[in-house]
Amino acid sequence: MEKLTLLLTFSLFTVFGFTQNLPEIFSSIQVKMKDGHSPPEMTNYIKDLNRGLDKFGRGVQFWMSYGDRGERKQQLVYGFAFDFKANRDYYFPIPDDNSDNGNPQFQALAQKMANAGYSVNQDIMEEDPYTDWVCVGFDKLINPQLGGLVAVRGLPLKSGVEMDFEKFVTSELYPAFSKNMEGLDAYVYKGDRGAGKGSYIFLWSFDTVQRRNSYFPTEEGDPSEAFNKAYESVSAVMDKLNSFISEEATSVPFTDYVRVDVGQ
């Protein structure tokens, strides 16, 4: 699963077939449309692929979002979303193995979709290298929900704190947000394969774009009075988060991504 173009040569976010709609693992690829093609064309293409995955796949879908604010504003990003890591490993058992026999289950899925008439070989975009991201403490989450807008920023951890950090995320960070922040959840993902392997990202999942706007009315990210009041209940846990990283979380570049409806 090096680039989606490689995946598409084999052929070939969001409801994943169960109540919990946050995937345990997703791949992300920054994309740029080739000349003569458009984002709506890509949206329709991915919707068609998802119809095929619904019919023939197992716990796998495509997702797509676009940058609404921040570092990657107006840029597209998409990739696979797997409800469980085991499903990613079922389709792609060996990292970066795109040989003819490297991913037999995925190749079989692709062939079924192609035989059923799904368009699996369109070359309409250019992609950057991918990263597979795995949710930290996923097995401890209770019905986590992925909202309509997700703010993403990197977490540059200090050396040697990974184990303590992941314990903190599961036991303190997640409960603090789920109990205290209306319409806003926090999740941490770790790079498992690809360009971002070994790094961490922090996701603020807003239930709606309107919620984000009510908390952060301006593109500069200035918080509203409503956010500041709600944030008081999680300020201590955020201070502890900052103790694990080499710079303040709010100083790290971010992108707010709005989820595109591609039929997941």
Q: What is the mean pLDDT of residues 191-218?
A: 96
- pLDDT tens, residue by residue, 43-64: 999 999 999 999 999 999 999 9
Measure Cα distances from 255 to 106, 127, 251 in Å.
31, 18, 12
- Residues 15-42 have pLDDT tens digits of 333 345 899 999 999 988 889 888 899 9
For the beta carbon of residue 74, count every other beta carbon within 10 angstroms. Answer: 8
Q: Scanning the structure block, which residue is given the tokens 């940058």?
A: 67
Task: Answer whether residue 4 shows pLDDT above 80.
Answer: no
Q: In the prediction, which pLDDT does 15 show?
A: 34
198: left (phi over 0), alpha (psi -120 to 50) or beta: left
Whole-number pLDDT of residue 20: 57
Find the DSSP H helices in 39-141.
39-56, 85-91, 104-115
| Confidence tier at 9 by pLDDT (50, 70, 90) | very low
Q: What residues does each domain of the chain span?
A: 4-132, 136-259
H helix or E strand, kind and range, residue 169: none
CATH for the 4-132 domain, from 3.30.70, 3.30.1340, 1.10.3470, 3.60.21: 3.30.70
Do 136-259 and 4-132 have the same topology in CATH? yes
What tens digit of pLDDT does each residue of 93-136 get? 999 887 878 899 999 999 999 999 987 766 888 888 999 999 99
Distance between CA 59 and CA 84 in Å, rounded? 7
Which letter does DSSP use for residue 172 in this model? Answer: I
- Whether the pTM exceeds 0.85: the reply is yes
pLDDT at 121: 67
**Whether pLDDT at 209 is above 80:** yes
pLDDT confidence of residue 5: 31
155: tokens are 């977490």
- Tell me the pLDDT of the chain averaged across its residues: 88
* Residue 249 pLDDT exceeds 60: yes
| 73, pLDDT greater than 50 | yes
3-class secondary-structure state, position 188: strand
According to the model, what pLDDT value does residue 3 have?
34
Q: What is the CATH code of the structural domain delimited by 136-259?
A: 3.30.70.100
C-alpha R_g of the chain = 19
